[in-house]
Structure 1
Amino acid sequence: MPKEHRKRGKKKKPEPEWQPPVQEPRREQDIVPVEQPPAPTWIVPGEKKDDINPEAPFGYVDVDVKAYFRTVDVQIRDWQDTAADSGAGDDEPNEERRMFVLAALTEMGGKEKQLATDPDCSLVLERMTYSMDDFVRRVFVDSLMGSYDVLVKHRFASHVCQTLFTVASRTISREKRGVLPTVPESSEKGELRTLTQLIVDVCEELVPVFASLVMDPFASHVIRALLLLLSPSLVTSQETVRNAMRSKKSAAWKAKQGPLKSVFKEAEEGESTVKSPPEELTRAARKFVDVVRGELDGNETRALAADKVASPTLQMLLAAEADQQMTEDVDSLMDRVLVGLIASSRDDPTATPPMSDYLNTLLRDPTSSHLLETIVSRCPGPAFSILWATYFKGNLPRIASHPVANFVLAKAMERVDVTQLTEAATELQHAWGKIIQTSRTGVLRAAIDRAAILKGCGAKMTEAVAAAFEINTPEERNRLVACVLRLQSFQGFKATEEFKVQGAVLLQSLLRLSEPHNQPVIESLIALPMEEMLAMAHHPIGSRVLDALLDSATVPLKIKRQFVLFFIGSYHLLVDDRIGSRVGDRCWAFSDTYLKEKIARSLISQEQFLAGSYYGKFFARNLNLYLLQRRPDEWRTMQTDRSRSTAKPVAAPTSQAVEAIPGKERKKRKRDAGGDEIEELFGATMGKKVKKAALGETVEPESKVLLEASLDTGLADVMGAIRAAPSEGKTHGKRKGG
């Protein structure tokens, strides 16, 4: 191989790395002091505090303790998953679980704050909170006192506080009724306050920093849960409930953690939240509103409306202010957001203030439009009239077709009067078609619901629906239900389209209109072929329209009976489906004895079909076709008794009470025109035995009721037939003796 050609010259040596020069330490006598300028008088030196770790402000949890609470989490989660499947009232599993929870609570003592701020143990505390009794909840809330201003702003502890405030309503409800747990006497620890007083003290602790918590990303949802605890009436609003929940990301994560509920099997008594809170909580809610009023000015309050974190909390503060009847106060929070409109309406109800660009922005902003919905729903009546005339009237077509503003308009429709509703229907007459094409039906639905409440403008609503779906001729009216259910006009109707929820809601609202304005929907339903009616009854969306037909108080009784008879001959096909069987049950529950007999007799030939149907066999249990074919009188009596017991449950009458009923006496004196001799002979014998065993005076009425409650439907039918046997036996016996 040829040798490599090397370049001539000397090889360069690597340069040494740069080293900083070494300086000798200076001696103290060589240091010349530099004179510092005097500090300004307005600077006040702050107090020196120890460095606090924001992730663990109260310290980290010991490794062994965290491992123990992981096992607690696994066990409690397993019990929560299987709580619904296991039977209630078993004391042994409950006692075992109480001992387990008690051991976990004992280990938790003194470490509550560290566990609440731990990313793993905080969820365990949330699970355990649902299984705590009233006394333990009071101890837990008391153990966190003095640190709530830090805990509510922590990433993990904030959720513990939110869960704690959520379940506290149950304990406060019992405390208001005077149901208090026994507190062990201990002179060392002092007196334990009630949970109502503890919540008031928590509010007092949060008052100094409340205005800043409204804008905190972790504390804001805790404040909303606390406001719901102080003002339970806010729960009536669905938007308020949604805003009080966690964020979508947090809710999705929490859904993966399994259900959160008590691990004990006994029925929870008194778990309903109190609707009228104690006076102490009402004053606490009022104080929170006053704090925000005092610490924020008008511009700062209006700035919260567009903030994604603060806007839901401000929305609840406005609702709480309305519940406290504080909206008409001078410089109220709602008046600030409405730019002085409430004050203007109070001074001069007929005044028309200039239009505000700020409110127009709120109307079309995805975040702040929710706030405006609350304002429209809860502002005083004179202020709403000015708000409607200034910002809605004259702009309804544009607002109704806007992707965001249409929700605010739908909420405003719930408060209009007859005159305003008539003007709105006239203004939107040529815009309904475009609104339906964009599937924004909220405004039309709200207008129909308002017309049903006011019992006026029904004709206007019928015209609006006809214009929206391009329906004019009688033939087109017969397809009204099919078009509305698919949100399609008659010209562009396609039967292959899927049913829409908005269309079903519209039809339900139309059925609640007063007569005769609901007749177009009723006539269209009756005109449907059986195939389409069955397809509608088997659909989870379309079946709701049929439910509304039977539930609506404005639909005539004659129409409801006609609808029930419409399925005669096809009930076996109706109930052979998961959704259709529910519709069949609704028809059966509505029917009287006459209609029930017609339904049952139409299904005698389909008895084998119902027995082989997975869903139809449950419907067949109510029919009791065997008894209908052999003893129809007893079947009718049984169905009548069932209808009465369903309408108003009463105790079973005693033998003396049965004799005192005139109808019963006539039945006993009744004579049969004829009968088989063998049947008479054995009927008399069985009648005497049954009378002695089943209707003897030694049997208490209460025991009869408990016995019938414990039997299933089939056995109850047999018992009903046996109870009817004594009268027959007595009659046959008299005939034979005579």
Structure 2
Amino acid sequence: MCCRPPANSNSSSFRGLKTSKQEVPSGLAAKLGGVSATAAGISGKKHSSTVATLAAELLGSGMDEPPPCRLPELISRFTAVVCSDDYVGAVVSELVYHPYACPFLQALLRAAACDRKALRQLVPVLLGATSFNDSVKGGAGAVLEGCREEEVSAMLTDPTTSHLMEVLLQVLPRALLEEFFRRFIGPRLAELAHHPSANFVVQTVLVAAPSKEMAKTMYDSLSGLLPDLLRKRRSGVVVALVACCGRHGICQREVCTALASALSGIPQWADLKGDAVLAPALLCLDSVPIIGSNEPFSAATVAAARGGGSSLPRLSPTGCSILTQILRYGQGACRAFTDSVASLKPHDAARVGADPSGSRVLEALLEGNAPAKVKGTLLAALADHWDAVATTASGSFLVETAYRWAELNAKEAIVSRLAAASKVLEVTHWGPSLLRKVGAEAYKRDPEQWRRHAASATKTLDQFTKLFGDDSAAGKPQAIAKGTVVAQGKGIEKDAGANKEKEKKEEKMGKIKRKHEVAPAREEGNEEGTGMVTGHEDGKDVGTIVAEYRTALQAEPMPKSARKSKKGKKQQRDE
């Protein structure tokens, strides 16, 4: 067996890795993933179903099934060699601890994820079992019965073999995973969570937890350890725990209460009282406490940092990850954290928005199901700092999200600041696109015309919302504030009224469709083709409304001279 891997290789280069609904790829970014059933606000169900559909299409099967193996014969040969009498026992025990052989065995496990029989052979051999039962009737206990607890415990805590255990937990079938957890991890969960190597195995277990019962068991064991885990720099376990509870929709209120209690006990934030401590403590977890002082922050601050060849102080990636997941919970659980983020002082909010990790926190609040008043408070705090936020690459995404959710006055605050800083933004690779999306050039040319265009775009979005419901117009908060019948669902009488209104619209749209079949096609040179939405009639068909919805926010008003030119060309064609 060749132990040394080729140069520049890693486990991610192997094709056909298992991706299932229960697991999220390892790493901190992966722990930001799963959207729970109650976490993503009005668009959560649609997002989950879309992800499931795309995954099934890509994998060619259900999400619970791994993709088919591309080289089954090669994997079978490797499996036969590792499980042969020449390797079982002392040789395999030496290989799993070898710094070069262990990555190969990890890759072999990932490749064998598509073959349950191969896994039932490999797992006990790699865990040091001298005998195993790989028959079809043999359950999970029969497969793992020859594994010794002392040997598995040593592998969980070793810096090299702990990586093998992480991969093992990612590829195990559900029955084997639950059995492995009950025997080797569950009884020592608190101890392993504090271990410098084994805590990553605990994170993987939390990510791969296949059932609510298993997730609840882990929460009960870890909830009382949150203060110690945060203080001893084991916050990755907290990230995985918060994400696990959100993914399964369990203990969300409890985990928020326990986390708030843990954060309130951090000495460096003793000056902040009540909910005000929650956001700063997480944003600056394991990092410099730059939030809370409200020190001046502007575009000049960003430019000075770049000019000096340095970067701005970073917020805590793990703390921002925890806060991002918390903000995706239902408001009944996370309202204290939502209010804490929204109550950040203007300069602090701008620093968070310009940070690569902090910007995701503010995006989570704006895209979540927080009340419109809370979102408006955050947008008001950032009103004078949008130019500073937009001068960073990560902040530009926040600006786009805020512009999508803002009311007319908040939109104007964004575009006015960006228009004033257009020369600075144009030299960045994201600036021209951002300026075009918010219509900065049109605002500089004629602010009043821009306001009319923005108001008309708002009417288009409202009409789209009334026709398709809130799920289709998830990017518009006004639909939530107005409380349409489809979104609220209050009572059978309203539902019946909505159905009658829908039938009338369908009947009316059918007549209009037949009318359009006879009417001539719309000329491309008229004013409606410029993206300016000048008015809306109840009789528009679905295609017209969708087309206007797509262009309503991004299309800039066309100058009057250009319109006259096109109008003249149209008259020439008509003549």
- Scaled by the length of structure 1, the TM-score of the pair is 0.48
Give the CA deviation at 1:233. 5.2
Call closer, same or farther: CA 1:599–1:387 in 2, change over 3 Å: same
Q: Give the Cα–Cα distance (whole angstroms) in 1 for the partners of residues 460 and 75 of structure 2.
A: 51
Call closer, same or farther: CA 1:280–1:323 in 2, change over 3 Å: closer
Call closer, same or farther: CA 1:311–1:600 in 2, change over 3 Å: same
**Count of equivalent residues:** 423
Matched, 1:609 2:410: no
Call closer, same or farther: CA 1:722–1:564 in 2, change over 3 Å: farther
Give the CA deviation at 1:585. 2.6
Residue 411 (structure 1) aligned to one of 204, 210, 215: 204
Give the CA deviation at 1:409. 0.7
Residue 483 (structure 1) aligned to one of 281, 287, 312: 281
Task: State the secondary structure of the residue aligned to 1:366.
Answer: coil
Alignment match, 1:534: 350
Gaps of 5+ in 2: 28-57, 61-66, 296-312, 465-471, 475-515, 537-546, 571-575
- Deviation string for 1:505-555 (max 9, x for gaps)? 111121222332222221111111112111211223322211333344x55
Alignment match, 1:310: 101
The answer as to whether partners of 2:283 and 2:319 remain within 8 angstroms in 1 is yes
The answer as to whether partners of 1:301 and 1:333 remain within 8 angstroms in 2 is no
The answer as to whether partners of 1:448 and 1:513 remain within 8 angstroms in 2 is no
Q: Give the Cα–Cα distance (whole angstroms) in 1 for the partners of residues 160 and 14 of structure 2.
A: 21
Q: Give the Cα–Cα distance (whole angstroms) in 1 for the partners of residues 378 and 521 of structure 2.
A: 39
Call closer, same or farther: CA 1:337–1:728 in 2, change over 3 Å: same
- Deviation string for 1:31-53 (max 9, x for gaps)? xxxxxxxxxxxxxxxxxxxxxxx
Alignment match, 1:397: 190
Q: Give the Cα–Cα distance (whole angstroms) in 1 for the partners of residues 164 and 237 of structure 2.
A: 18
Q: Which amino acid aligns with 1:450?
A: C
Give the CA deviation at 1:597. 5.5
Give the CA deviation at 1:435. 1.3
1:264-303 to 2 correspondences below 5 Å: 281-294=71-84, 296-299=86-89, 300-303=91-94
Residue 448 (structure 2) aligned to one of 607, 624, 629: 629
Give the CA deviation at 1:318. 1.4
1:391-470 to 2 correspondences below 5 Å: 391-416=184-209, 417-470=211-264
Alignment match, 1:571: 386
Give the CA deviation at 1:339. 4.5
- Deviation string for 1:435-491 (max 9, x for gaps)? 1112111211111111111111112311331233236999332220100111279x9
Give the CA deviation at 1:411. 0.5
Task: State the secondary structure of the residue aligned to 1:528.
Answer: coil
- Deviation string for 1:615-672 (max 9, x for gaps)? 697555423213441474345457888999x999xxxx9993449xxx98xx9999xx
Give the CA deviation at 1:419. 2.9
Call closer, same or farther: CA 1:304–1:428 in 2, change over 3 Å: same
Matched, 1:333 2:144: no
Residue 545 (structure 1) aligned to one of 356, 361, 386: 361
- Deviation string for 1:48-106 (max 9, x for gaps)? xxxxxxxxxxxxxxxxxxxxxxxxxxxxxxxxxxxxxxxxxxxxxxxxxxxxxxxxxxx
Give the CA deviation at 1:362. 0.6
Q: Give the Cα–Cα distance (whole angstroms) in 2 for the partners of residues 223 and 488 of structure 1.
A: 29
The answer as to whether partners of 1:539 and 1:579 remain within 8 angstroms in 2 is yes
1:21-170 to 2 correspondences below 5 Å: none
Alignment match, 1:228: 14
Q: Which amino acid aligns with 1:599?
A: K
Give the CA deviation at 1:404. 0.4
- Deviation string for 1:577-602 (max 9, x for gaps)? 555444223312x236xx25642267
The answer as to whether partners of 2:18 and 2:110 remain within 8 angstroms in 1 is no
- Deviation string for 1:122-154 (max 9, x for gaps)? xxxxxxxxxxxxxxxxxxxxxxxxxxxxxxxxx
Q: Give the Cα–Cα distance (whole angstroms) in 2 for the partners of residues 438 and 361 of structure 1.
A: 22
The answer as to whether partners of 1:455 and 1:514 remain within 8 angstroms in 2 is no
Alignment match, 2:299: none
Residue 520 (structure 2) aligned to one of 640, 656, 679: 656
Give the CA deviation at 1:319. 1.7
Call closer, same or farther: CA 1:281–1:578 in 2, change over 3 Å: closer
Alignment match, 1:522: 338
- Scaled by the length of structure 2, the TM-score of the pair is 0.60
The answer as to whether partners of 1:220 and 1:313 remain within 8 angstroms in 2 is no
Q: Give the Cα–Cα distance (whole angstroms) in 2 for the partners of residues 498 and 218 of structure 1.
A: 35
Give the CA deviation at 1:401. 0.9
Q: Give the Cα–Cα distance (whole angstroms) in 2 for the partners of residues 459 and 446 of structure 1.
A: 16
Q: Which amino acid aligns with 1:512?
A: R
The answer as to whether partners of 1:611 and 1:620 remain within 8 angstroms in 2 is yes
In terms of Rg, which structure is larger?
A: 1
Alignment match, 1:321: 112
Q: Give the Cα–Cα distance (whole angstroms) in 1 for the partners of residues 342 and 535 of structure 2.
A: 46
Task: State the secondary structure of the residue aligned to 1:326.
Answer: helix
Alignment match, 2:488: none
Q: Give the Cα–Cα distance (whole angstroms) in 2 for the partners of residues 301 and 446 of structure 1.
A: 31
Alignment match, 1:599: 411
Q: Give the Cα–Cα distance (whole angstroms) in 1 for the partners of residues 561 and 59 of structure 2.
A: 46
Alignment match, 1:718: 558
Percent of aligned pairs with the same amino acid: 18
Q: Give the Cα–Cα distance (whole angstroms) in 2 for the partners of residues 358 and 504 of structure 1.
A: 37
Call closer, same or farther: CA 1:530–1:484 in 2, change over 3 Å: same
Bigger shift: residues 349-358 or 399-408: 349-358
Call closer, same or farther: CA 1:721–1:443 in 2, change over 3 Å: farther
Using CA pairs below 8 Å that are at least 6 residues apart, which structure has the higher relative contact order? 2
Q: Which amino acid aligns with 1:520?
A: A
Call closer, same or farther: CA 1:452–1:279 in 2, change over 3 Å: closer
Residue 180 (structure 2) aligned to one of 387, 397, 401: 387
Q: Give the Cα–Cα distance (whole angstroms) in 1 for the partners of residues 560 and 458 of structure 2.
A: 10
RMSD of Structure 2 on Structure 1 (CA):
4.9
Alignment match, 1:202: none
Give the CA deviation at 1:324. 2.0
Call closer, same or farther: CA 1:728–1:573 in 2, change over 3 Å: farther
Q: Give the Cα–Cα distance (whole angstroms) in 1 for the partners of residues 159 and 182 of structure 2.
A: 23
Matched, 1:363 2:180: no
Give the CA deviation at 1:288. 3.3
Call closer, same or farther: CA 1:455–1:461 in 2, change over 3 Å: same
Q: Give the Cα–Cα distance (whole angstroms) in 1 for the partners of residues 456 and 534 of structure 2.
A: 14
